[in-house]
């Protein structure tokens, strides 16, 4: 049985302002009108003899991951929560240890949640082709058949031909300069390093113990002292913090004598920048990739994405223009690798636009900060049917709630009562309160906060059905 292991960590800062620290690119619909990158990764497994996936993500993304998996029909997925990122070698070790612990020494198919695969059938066929090699004890990686001399990817040099169309891995090489990449491409001996793998859980653990026992020991300790919470496996924070951060390539694949590579030609891309997204997107006759409400006049070679308002371009070339509710990016396609510098500057300036969008998703629904000023903030809040915000209080702010649609059950101190459409209620500073949607339709309300401090960290929780601190 194939056990898909989907690594869904990372911040995707080069795709700012769409990708944010608390809502990164793997949870966004970048190349599909409806499915996020994570959901696309899950959907292309249909047709493989695969078990429910194991998803490894950051603890702060747990509800995003769980909800997207539910919508994708994968409510049986297991989610391992990392308290902090430690790269791919520990992440895979956690999945392998968990599989062996429950008596499932299956084939781990390790995938990234943010890759694009244009030909899902070719992907599945290549995975099936690699199974006999993995069953024979090989640690298989999938090398992408290159389409051009690319300096943005690492490469794998093919060695001796093996059965089933695989090759011994001669060596892994870092991202090359243009001349070296051209030589690799023309030789036909090199493949792009995709970061996708297939191997038995026990074989990976054997090789990790051989080359990096410190990583294995820390992962084992964090998993043995973990706790179960709903769909989530919560690792022991202190034990996992002691784990070295290392990629699977450096920790295992470059050291083992059992590495094999199987070529894959399935329209792969890692969607690592806005220019890559432009390359894989559909374009008009002028070479423009457009999404949203966009008007273009005498413009060519551009990627323009308008999420919330009209964007118009006149007489521009080779630009990336991305509009969100709280930020606009304008960059030349040749300089999009420097977008991460903008993110670093935002963080250094003490701003918040690198963290989240104006719309913030929570396990109970979503809120949109529609206006703010000195001592006040206005939010539009949507609470899903049956959902409840935590029982909480605030030291520095009072709140007015006006119900726009649906029915709210409000706990306000010692009182509990219903508030319906066009009605309102008031929560004083320091009052213990809660908000719940007892109805069958979404609850929509406007919240007006007023006070000396309006930060999200002014929340003291007394009870929470979602396990938040």
The predicted-structure confidence for 351-364, as pLDDT tens digits, reads as follows 989 988 888 888 89
Taking residues 381-392, report their average pLDDT.
96
Of 325, 348, 371, which marks where a domain is finished? 348
CB-hemisphere CA count at 13 Å for 114? 25
Kindly state whether residues 110 and 146 are assigned to the same domain. Answer: yes
Residues 129 and 185 in one domain: yes
The range of the structural domain enclosing residue 111 comes to 2-269
- Kindly state the percentage of the chain with pLDDT values over 70: 100
Assess whether the previous peptide bond of 17 is cis (omega < 30° from 0).
yes
The per-residue pLDDT for 358 is: 86
C-alpha 204/C-alpha 134 separation (Å) is: 11
Any domain includes 126:
yes
Encoding tokens for residue 242?
A: 């002691």
Q: What is the pLDDT of residues 424-452, one digit of tens each?
A: 999 999 999 999 999 999 999 999 999 99
One domain, residues 142 and 232: yes
Residues 206 and 62 in one domain: yes
User: Is 354 within the bounds of a domain?
Assistant: no
Q: DSSP for 39-88?
A: HHHHHTTBTB-B---EEEEEGGGHHHHHHHHHHTT-TT-EEEEESS---H
Quick one: 247 and 322 in the same domain?
A: no
Strand partners, 426: 400
- Judge whether 456 lies within some domain: yes
Calculate the CA 79 to chain-centre distance. Answer: 13
Q: Are residues 84 and 226 in the same domain?
A: yes
Whether residues 53 and 116 share a domain: the answer is yes
Shared domain for 77 and 208, answered yes or no, is: yes
* 330 vs 320: CA distance, rounded Å: 6
Question: Across the chain, what does the average pLDDT equal?
Answer: 93
User: pTM of the predicted model, to two decimals?
Assistant: 0.88
H or E stretch at 107:
strand 107-112
Per the structure, the count of domains in the chain is 3
Is 468 within the bounds of a domain? Answer: no
pLDDT at 229 over 80: no
- CATH code assigned at 158: 3.90.550.10
Last residue in a domain, options 269, 298, 313: 269
CATH number at residue 416: 2.60.120.10
Closest CA to 445 of 411, 402, 409: 402
pLDDT recorded at residue 391: 96
Judged by DSSP in three states, 422 sits in: coil
Same domain, 281 and 342: yes
In the listed set 222, 252, 269, which residue is the last one of a domain according to the structure? 269
Helix (H, G, I), strand (E, B) or coil at 367: strand
On whether both 138 and 235 belong to a single domain, the answer is: yes
pLDDT at 11: 82
Phi and psi at 385, nearest 5°, equal: -55, 130
Helix (H) or strand (E) holding 126: helix 120-135
Question: Within this chain, do residues 52 and 89 fall inside the same structural domain, yes or no?
Answer: yes
Contacts of 447 (CB under 8 A, 6+ apart): 367, 378, 379, 380, 381, 399, 400, 401, 402
Both 422 and 449 in one domain: the answer is: yes
pLDDT band at 152 (very low <50, low <70, confident <90, very high): confident
């Amino acid at each position: 049985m194939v056990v898909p292991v989907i690594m869904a960590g990372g911040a995707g800062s080069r795709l700012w302002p769409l990708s944010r620290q608390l809502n990164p690119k793997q949870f966004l619909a970048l190349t599909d009108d409806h499915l996020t990158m994570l959901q696309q990764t899950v959907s292309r497994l249909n047709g493989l003899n695969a078990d429910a996936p194991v998803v490894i993500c950051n603890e702060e993304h747990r509800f995003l991951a769980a909800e997207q998996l539910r919508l994708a029909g994968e409510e049986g997925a297991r989610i391992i929560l990392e308290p902090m990122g430690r790269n791919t070698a520990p992440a895979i070790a956690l999945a392998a240890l968990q599989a062996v612990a429950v008596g499932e020494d299956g084939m781990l198919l390790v995938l990234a949640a943010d890759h694009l695969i244009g030909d899902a059938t070719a992907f599945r066929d290549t995975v099936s082709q690699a199974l006999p090699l993995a069953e024979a004890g090989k640690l298989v990686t999938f090398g992408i058949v290159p389409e051009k001399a690319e300096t943005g990817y690492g490469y794998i040099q093919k060695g001796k031909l093996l059965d089933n169309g695989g090759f011994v891995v001669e060596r892994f090489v870092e991202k090359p300069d243009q001349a070296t990449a051209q030589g690799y491409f023309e030789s036909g001996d090199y493949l792009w390093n995709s970061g996708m793998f297939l191997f038995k859980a026990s074989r990976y653990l054997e090789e990790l113990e051989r080359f990096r026992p410190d990583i294995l020991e820390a992962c084992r300790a964090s998993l043995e002292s973990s706790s179960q919470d709903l769909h989530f496996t919560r690792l022991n924070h202190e034990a996992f913090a002691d784990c070295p951060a290392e990629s699977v390539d450096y920790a295992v694949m470059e050291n083992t004598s059992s590495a094999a590579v199987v070529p894959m030609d399935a329209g792969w891309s890692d969607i690592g920048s806005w220019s890559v997204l432009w390359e894989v997107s559909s374009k008009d006759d002028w070479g423009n990739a457009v999404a949203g409400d966009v008007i273009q006049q005498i413009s060519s070679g551009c990627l323009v994405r308008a999420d919330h308002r009209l964007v118009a371009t006149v007489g521009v070339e080779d630009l990336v223009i991305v509009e969100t509710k709280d930020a606009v990016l304008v960059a030349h396609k040749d300089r999009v690798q420097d977008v991460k510098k903008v993110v670093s500057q935002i963080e250094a300036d003490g701003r918040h636009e690198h963290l989240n969008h104006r719309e913030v998703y929570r396990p109970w629904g979503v809120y949109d900060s529609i206006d703010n000023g000195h001592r006040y903030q206005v939010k539009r809040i949507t609470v899903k049917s049956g959902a409840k915000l935590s029982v909480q209080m605030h030291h520095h702010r009072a709140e007015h709630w006006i119900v726009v649609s649906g029915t709210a059950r409000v706990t306000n101190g010692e009182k509990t009562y219903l508030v319906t459409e066009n009605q309102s209620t008031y929560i004083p500073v320091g009052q213990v309160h809660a908000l719940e949607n007892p109805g069958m339709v979404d609850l929509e309300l406007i919240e007006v906060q007023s006070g000396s401090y309006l930060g999200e960290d002014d929340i003291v929780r007394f009870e929470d059905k979602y396990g938040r601190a």
